[in-house]
Amino acid sequence: MLYLLYHYLTAHHVDLPGVGLFKYLTFRGGMAVATSQLVVVAMGSRFIRWMQAKQGKGQPIRADGIQRHIIEKAGTPTMGGLMFLAGISVATLLWADLKNIYVWVMLLVTLSFGALGFMDDYAKVTKQTTAGVSGRVRLLVEALIGVLAVAAMARFGPPSPGGASLSTSLAFPLFKHLVVNLSWFYPIFGAFIIVGASNAVNFTDGLDGLATVPVMIASATFALIAYLVGNFVFARYLELDFMPGVGEVAVFSAAVVGSGLGFLWYNAPPARIFMGDSGALALGGALGAVAVATKHEIVLGIVGGLFVVETVSVIIQVLWFKRTGRRVFLMAPIHHHFERLGWSEPTVVIRFWIVAIMLAMLGLATLKLR
């Protein structure tokens, strides 16, 4: 909104001190971080008290889970993801270019997945069960949202120097301008990335702060990637595929980082509120959408490698148990496996944060290793 105000004032030759800063992505990204953080922190305590009054017993804890969690975390309210959504929405609408198609796609994917997660959280709280919305129904809706989002970016995104085919192509890291045009299949592939990222973050969200910080790290990484691929000079220097208009995604990603900082104030151990599916599904969907917009879908698998490992651990556990009746891990997702081994919750969380930072550095390295 303020970016449009800048253009309006410039067009009418109105010179106000400081308004010129609004044209810079770096400034607007920094302000998006600050704004989203302030929104989340400001609404935090009152929102948590309201949720405690509304939810009563709070989020149900898995009966087969860590016994300490059942005792210590019982009664903690969920749906903290709504705080995330508020911070992201306010900051993005305030600081991003609202004429940019990518901005609206990012917001709509995030809010749509957040609404789906809210329905899941609501069903769990009201029925006091860990089973919410049907998994098949949820995946179907997520896939539909993903396909529409990717198709919208491919159809309405600004044309790139690589031609229309680049909008439906998969780029490979470590290779100079190696892209494969997936044509009509690309919206399906892109939807797979968005849905996969959404559920991967959801699997990771099992300990206080465990998913929040890796999401912030991945979002900060992709904010930089979006800024680089959206800038012709930097994209040419790094031999990246230039994507006009994608730079605005950096503002959105910065808003995610700021919201994470604000939410961590209340989600740090011991958590006063859980983000729930309303947060985990939304944040994962946002990461997937950003990766698709920046043409760095494969790099998301590196930067978000922690989420991939968490998801794979669940898949292995379920498939192996169905086949043999035995478990590979003491408990899945894998963060609970380490708890079963005797690691304390803070130890698991902080070590997973360290892994997330290392993976982010590795993902960024692919920008230059070509």
| pLDDT at res. 83 | 95
Nearest to 229 by CA among 221, 238, 220: 238
> The pTM is what?
0.92
- Residues in CB range of 33: below 8 A, 6 or more apart: 91, 254, 255, 257, 258, 261
| pLDDT at res. 369 | 80
CA–CA dist 17, 215 (Å, integer): 36
CA-based diameter of the chain, in Å? 74
| pLDDT at res. 285 | 97
| pLDDT at res. 21 | 86
| pLDDT at res. 22 | 84
**Whole-angstrom Cα Rg for the chain:** 21
Match 């300990």 to its residue by tokens. Answer: 207
| pLDDT at res. 96 | 95
In order along its 370 residues, the chain shows pLDDT tens digits of 787 876 667 776 677 777 778 889 999 999 999 999 999 999 988 999 888 887 665 556 555 556 555 546 667 888 899 999 999 999 999 999 999 999 999 999 999 999 999 998 888 777 766 556 777 889 999 999 999 999 999 999 887 775 557 889 998 888 777 889 999 999 999 999 999 999 999 999 989 899 999 999 999 999 999 999 999 999 999 988 899 999 999 999 999 999 999 999 998 878 889 999 999 999 999 999 999 999 999 999 999 999 999 999 999 999 999 999 999 999 999 999 999 999 999 999 999 999 999 999 999 999 988 6
Report DSSP letters for 119-145, one per residue: HHHHHHHHHTSS--S-HHHHHHHHHHH
Residue 13 to residues 6, 9, 28, Cα–Cα distance (Å): 10, 6, 22
Terminal-to-terminal C-alpha distance of the chain: 38
CA–CA dist 304, 60 (Å, integer): 27
Match 């796609």 to its residue by tokens. Answer: 105
